[in-house]
Copies of this chain bind each other. A is one copy, B any other.
Amino acid sequence: MTRIRLGMVGGGNDAFIGGVHRIASRIDDRYELVAGALSSTPEKAQASGEALGLPRIYDDFKQMAIREARLKNGIEAVSIVTPNHVHYAAAREFLKRGIHVICDKPLTSNLSDAKKLVKAAENSGALFILTHNYTGYPMVRQAREMVANGAIGKIRVVQVEYPQDWLTVEQDFKQAEWRTDPERSGAGGSTGDIGTHAHNLARFITGLEVESLAADLDAFVPGRRVDDNGHVMLRFEGGAKGMLWCSQVAPGNENALRIRVYGETGGLEWAQEDPNYLWHTPLDEPKRLITRNGAGAGDAAARMSRIPPGHPEGYLEGFANIYSEAAEAIEAHRDGRPVDAEVLFPTVHDGLRGVEFVDACVRSSARNAAWVNLRG
């Protein structure tokens, strides 16, 4: 089996998520990173590329797209791990040259770009994979499978939250800096950076779309220009109701994404910080602890697991699962065959939904938390 030739845009020396993408691409050994435009600053792009020993280093993504597309063994896919406002422009260049795009979330920094990127992806023969990585966790797959199989009945209530504490006070390091700059992150702060993960996770597990929402957003840290706390009430298609809380100012919460789904005949609970466990309560029966690869876990989770129960897999493995699902699709594309039905990854359309979510939150909050429709 030949590894997929991969390029990367963004992810230079002091970035966080670029390194994550690189490890994720290596874990299952289906990619080979061979080219990069790792920074918008040419010297940093060069230095970062050399530090990684990249065969081909570019000054900017457009140059990279043009040249790689012409190479006989140019990259087949590119990972885009820049700040949000660059996603659209970068992705467009690769998509129009038939190079698959694996893009970090949120899809774009504004709704207009998101819609254009959907078009660009639809007009391209290439694949678009959005790394809503939390959908790669085995027990998230397990939850989705159980919901689909009716294990908890018709869904009534969805409680999803994503509190963090790293922006409780003003921070000036790089990760914090662009994420709190509306020019680069988009109009949503916590809503865009983590609220979109929570929103996507709820959609992924329940299979339900949010029809409307009412949001009360705050920027608690003095001088902050984007929200750092969001309280959102959700109404799903079919009548389910939900709450979504995202926060970057909740001391004691490191990365506490958590979802609870309650239906007519049972409940499911999952927490990202303890990702190998899924709690399932069938109505009127004791709560059960389903573990990754353990008793009670089904096929959807087993596909995403590498090692036996009790040997914890974590964030990087969940992220790697998105890369492996992408590899499944890319290899199928290479071979001209359809992708297996069980292969799942977030698409450009999921990305659009996420940007619509942020946009709706911001608009709702500006109108005193009035309800904003998300569908049509």
Please list the residues of chain A having a beta carbon within 8 angstroms of any beta carbon in chain B.
1, 16, 19-20, 22-23, 26-29, 53, 152, 156-157, 159, 161, 164-166, 168-169, 214, 216, 218, 220, 229, 231, 233, 235, 241-243, 245, 247, 249-256, 260, 262-267, 269, 272-276, 279-291, 294-296, 306-317, 368-369, 371
Contact = CB atoms under 8 A, between A and B. Distances in A.
Nearest to A318: B312
A295 to B, nearest CB: 5
A285 B282 CA distance: 14
B249 A262 contact: yes
Contacts of A313: 314-316
Contacts of A242: 231
- Tell me the number of copies of this protein: 4
Which 8 pairs across A and B sit closest by C-beta, in order of nearness?
A254-B310, A255-B310, A252-B281, A314-B314, A312-B314, A252-B267, A251-B267, A286-B296
A233 B216 CA distance: 8
Contacts of A1: 53
B250 A267 contact: yes
Nearest to A274: B274
Contacts of A256: 310
20 contacts: A20-B307, A22-B29, A26-B27, A156-B218, A156-B229, A243-B245, A249-B262, A251-B266, A251-B281, A251-B282, A253-B310, A254-B311, A255-B310, A276-B314, A280-B286, A284-B295, A286-B289, A286-B295, A316-B317, A369-B371
Contact of A251 (B152, B250, B315): B152
A251 B156 CA distance: 11
Contacts of A311: 254-255, 314-315
